[in-house]
């Protein structure tokens, strides 16, 4: 019987945007889930998660989710200027980037 080993893949990327007031931090964590043969990525500040069979697919899904979260939050705030959400500043910044590809660039994904 062949010997096998399980490899753990985990990565954490932290980006700090210093030209905002206050500065914003985006933390992205990526993990391989061997039981699902899939990757999971998440950004806690944006309440966004991405899944995929490959790392690239997962990061694309995460960037899309972050963009969608930003779209929803900016729209909600336009309808209700008094809305309070801890992710609102992050959402406004993401939305200001203009497109999902720039989200990937920001995070270095």
pLDDT tens by residue, 73-98: 999 988 988 888 888 999 999 999 99
| Residue among 33, 31, 32, 67 nearest 47 (CA) | 67
Pick the CATH number of 10-107 from 3.40.50, 3.30.750, 3.80.10, 3.30.160: 3.30.160
Question: Per the structure block, which two tokens stand in for 2?
Answer: 């062949």
- Cα 59 from Cα 108, distance rounded (Å): 10
CA–CA distance, 5 with 11 (Å, rounded to integer) = 19
Task: Quick: pLDDT tens for 30-41.
Answer: 999 988 999 999
Q: pTM value?
A: 0.84
């Amino acid at each position: 019987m062949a010997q096998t080993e399980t490899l753990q893949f985990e990565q954490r990327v932290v980006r700090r945007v210093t030209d905002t007031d206050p500065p914003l931090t985006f933390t992205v964590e990526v993990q391989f889930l061997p039981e699902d043969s899939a990757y999971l990525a998440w950004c806690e500040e944006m309440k966004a998660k991405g899944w995929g069979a490959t790392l690239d697919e997962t990061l694309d899904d995460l960037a899309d989710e972050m963009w969608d979260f930003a779209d929803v939050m900016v729209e909600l705030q336009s309808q209700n200027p008094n809305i309070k959400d801890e992710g609102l500043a992050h959402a406004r910044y993401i939305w200001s980037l203009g497109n999902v590809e720039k989200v990937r660039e920001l995070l270095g994904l």
